[in-house]
Chain A
């Protein structure tokens, strides 16, 4: 069955520290997408990244970087030099094919990141 595991329920770091959020997934699909979303205190889900299963290149966007390892079914997210504004709940998600070319998302339980000043 499709599953996303975010084993870290809550992480606290001091500002300027680097932090890595783990995501491990299980899927039977050969083609799939992986996502990270951020949920700040305001409540909305903010899209961060989408990764195709055929593209294992790591990606960097400013202070954010993502490490996709198909061999270990992991898609980890690192924030470098964390800031207080990074405090949020972060969700990892996996697409699951519904048929007819449509997908739904399988989410992990989220990791709450607290960045202390």
Chain B
């Protein structure tokens, strides 16, 4: 089976621009998660979808971040407008249910200059 796919793998944008990250979970996985690692720090939870519903978005840093999962398949994470502190690696993960561990994607490295 295909793993979790994230696109793009790298993105360099200027401060104030908009960027949209995409995640395709493993087919059939209802649970989809976004995490972020800012340089040298821990990987932090952003939010959790169950199908198309946001189950928990307590980790979203501010209202410049918008996540969607229309149709309960792939998800997008939009940052608008991007700030320098948004630079980091954004990971997506999916799981079949809560008794199984996540499968993570390769991440999107976002650099805001």
Contact = CB atoms under 8 A, between A and B. Distances in A.
Contacts, number: 60
B42 A102 contact: no
Interface residues of A, number: 25
Nearest to B47: A104
Given A108-B42, A109-B41, A43 B35 contact: no
Nearest to B33: A104
Contact of A44 (B45, B50, B55, B107): B107
Contact of B31 (A47, A50, A102): A102
A105 interface: yes
Given A43-B109, A98-B56, A102-B31, A107 B42 contact: yes
Interface string A23-57: 00000000001010100001111110010000000
Contacts of B42: 4, 106-110
A104 B43 contact: no
Given A107-B42, A109-B41, A102 B50 contact: yes
Contacts of A61: none
B25 interface: no
At the interface, is chain B mostly helix, strand, loop or mixed? strand
Contacts of B93: 45
A43 B101 contact: no
A101 interface: yes
- Most B Cβ at <10 Å: residue of A35, A43, A47: A43
Interface in B29-66: 31, 33, 35, 40-45, 48, 50, 55-56, 59
A109 B42 CA distance: 4
B111 interface: no
A91 B40 CA distance: 12
13 contacts: A33-B101, A37-B104, A42-B106, A43-B9, A45-B104, A45-B107, A47-B102, A47-B104, A103-B98, A104-B33, A106-B45, A107-B42, A109-B40
Interface of A: 4, 33, 35, 37, 42-47, 50, 91, 93, 98, 100-110
